[in-house]
Structure 1
Amino acid sequence: MPSLCRDCFVQSADAPRRCPACASARMVSHPELFGLSIAHIDCDAFFASVEKRDRPELAARPVIIGGGQRGVVSTACYLARTRGVKSAMPMFKALAACPDAVVIKPDFAKYVAASRQIRALMESLTPLVQAMSIDEAVLDLSGTEALHGAPPAVALARLARQVEKEVGVTVSMGLAPNRLLAKIAVERDKPRGMAVIGAAEAGALLAPEPVTILPGVGPAFAAKLGGMGFSTLGQLASLDMREAMRRFGEEGPTLVARARGEDSRPVRPERETKSVSAETTFDRDIARPEELEPMLWRLCEKLARRLAEKGFAAGGVVLKLKTARFALRTRNARLPGPSAVPETLFHAARPLLAREADGTAFRLIGIGAQPLVEASAADHGDLADPEAPRRAARWAAMEALRGKFGDRAVAVGRGIGARS
Structure 2
Amino acid sequence: MPALCRDCDHAAAAAFAACPACGSRRAVAHPELFALAVAHVDCDAFYASVEKRDRPDLLTKPVIVGGGRRGVVAAACYVARTRGVKSAMPMFKALAACPDAVVIKPDMQKYVAVARHVRALMEALTPLVQPLSIDEAALDLSGTAALHKAPPAVVLARFARQVEREAGITVSIGLARNRLLAKLAAERDKPRGFAVLGSEAAEWLADKPVGLLPGIGPAFAKKLQAAGFTRLGQLAALDPREAARRFGEDGPALAARARGEDSRRVSPDRETKSISAETTFDTDLRSVEELERPLWRLCEKLSRRLKEKELAAGGVVLKLKTAGFETRSRHARLARPTRLPETLFRAVQPLLAKEATGSAFRLIGIGAQPLAPGDAADLPDLADPDAARRAAKWQAVDALRARFGAEAVVSGRGLPRKGPGSA
Q: Give the TM-score normalised by structure 2.
A: 0.97
Matched, 1:173 2:156: no
SS state at 2:241 partner: helix
Partner SS, residue 119 of structure 1: helix
Equivalent in the alignment of 2:401:
402
Query: Which amino acid counterpart does residue 174 of structure 2 have in structure 1?
Result: G
Aligned to 2:325: 326
**Per the alignment, in what secondary structure is the counterpart of residue 147 of structure 1?**
helix
Q: Is 2:88 the counterpart of 1:88?
A: yes
1:288 corresponds in structure 2 to 287
Distance 2:383 2:338 in 1: 14
- Listed as ranges, the gaps of 5+ residues in structure 2 are 419-423
Name the amino acid aligned to 1:38: V
Query: 2:104 is matched with which residue?
Result: 104
Structure 1 distance, partners of 2:217, 2:29, is 32
For residues 380 and 386 of structure 1, the distance between their equivalents in structure 2, rounded to whole angstroms, comes to: 11
Aligned counterparts of 1:397 and 1:69: Cα–Cα separation in 2: 38
> What letter matches 1:117 in structure 2?
H
Q: Which moved more, 1:125-134 or 1:397-406?
A: 397-406
Please give the alpha-carbon distance, in whole angstroms, between the structure 1 residues aligned to 2:386 and 2:369. Answer: 22
Aligned to 2:52: 52
Aligned to 1:313: 312
How far has the Cα of 1:418 moved from its partner? 7.2
CA contact (8 A) 1:298 1:418 kept: no
Partner of 1:150: 150
- 1:295·1:418 contact (CA, 8 Å) conserved in 2? no
Could you tell me how far 1:388 is from its partner in structure 2? 2.4
Aligned-residue offset at 1:355 = 1.2
- Structure 1 residues 418, 296: closer, same or farther in 2, change over 3 A? farther
Match of 1:259 in 2: 258
- 2: CA distance between counterparts of 1:158 and 1:184? 21
Cα shift at 1:71? 0.5
Residue identity matched to 1:333: A
- Structure 1 unaligned spans of 5+: none
2:417 & 2:298 partners in 1: Cα distance?
A: 10
Contact 1:42–1:137 (CA under 8 A) maintained in structure 2: yes
SS in 2 for 1:352: helix
Report the residue type matching 1:196 in the other structure: V
Residue 77 of structure 2 is aligned to residue 41 of structure 1:
no
Counterpart CA distance in 2 for 1:381 and 1:321 is 33
Alignment of 1:7-406 (within 5 A): 7-198=7-198, 200-406=199-405
Cα distance in 1 for partners of 2:243, 2:404 equals: 60
| Alpha-carbon separation, structure 2, partners of 1:327 and 1:385 | 38
2:387 & 2:259 partners in 1: Cα distance?
51
Q: Partners of 2:404 and 2:179 in 1: how far apart?
A: 47
1:408 CA drift (Å): 2.3
Letter in 2 for 1:306: R
Q: Give the letter for the 1:222 counterpart.
A: A
How many angstroms apart in 2 are the aligned matches of 1:22 and 1:154?
A: 16
Pairwise CA distance, 1:94? 0.6
| 1:243 Cα offset (Å) | 1.3
Q: Deviations over 1:78-121 (max 9, x none)?
A: 00000110001110111111111110010001000000000000
Instruction: Tell me the distance in 1 between the aligned counterparts of 2:361 and 2:119.
Output: 38
SS of the equivalent of 1:53 reads helix
Q: Could you say what secondary structure the match of 2:364 adopts?
A: strand
**Separation in 2 of the partners of 1:307 and 1:157?**
38
Please list the CA deviations of residues 244-288 of structure 1 after superposition, one character each: whole Å capped at 9, or x if unmatched: 122222211111110111111110012111110000001111112
Hey, what's the Cα distance between the residues in 1 that align with 2:385 and 2:250? 42
**Secondary structure at the counterpart of residue 360 of structure 1:** coil
Q: Structure 1 runs of 4+ off > 4 angstroms?
A: none
Q: Secondary structure at the match of 2:84?
A: coil
Residue 220 of structure 1 and its aligned partner are, at CA, apart by: 0.9
Secondary structure of 1:71 counterpart:
coil
Kindly tell me the number of residue pairs found equivalent between the two proteins.
Answer: 418
Counterpart of 2:320 in 1: which secondary structure?
strand
Could you tell me how far 1:392 is from its partner in structure 2?
1.6
Local SS of the residue matching 1:283: strand
Percent identical among aligned pairs is 70
SS at the partner of 1:409? coil
For 2:382 and 2:256, how far apart are their aligned partners in 1? 49
- Greater Cα shift, 123-132 or 400-409: 400-409
Output the CA distance in 2 between the equivalents of 1:406 and 1:138: 36
Could you tell me how far apart the structure 2 residues matched to 1:369 and 1:113 are?
A: 26
- The answer on whether the counterparts of 1:322 and 1:362 sit within 8 Å (CA) in structure 2 is yes
SS in 2 for 1:407: coil
CA RMSD of aligned residues (A): 1.1
**1:41-89 deviations in Å (ceiling 9; x for gaps):** 0000000000111111111111000011110000100000001100011
333-342 or 376-385, which deviates more = 376-385
**Counterparts of 1:112 and 1:167 in 2: how far apart (Å)?**
12
- Structure 2 distance, partners of 1:379, 1:137, is 34
- What TM-score results when the alignment is normalised by the length of structure 1? 0.98
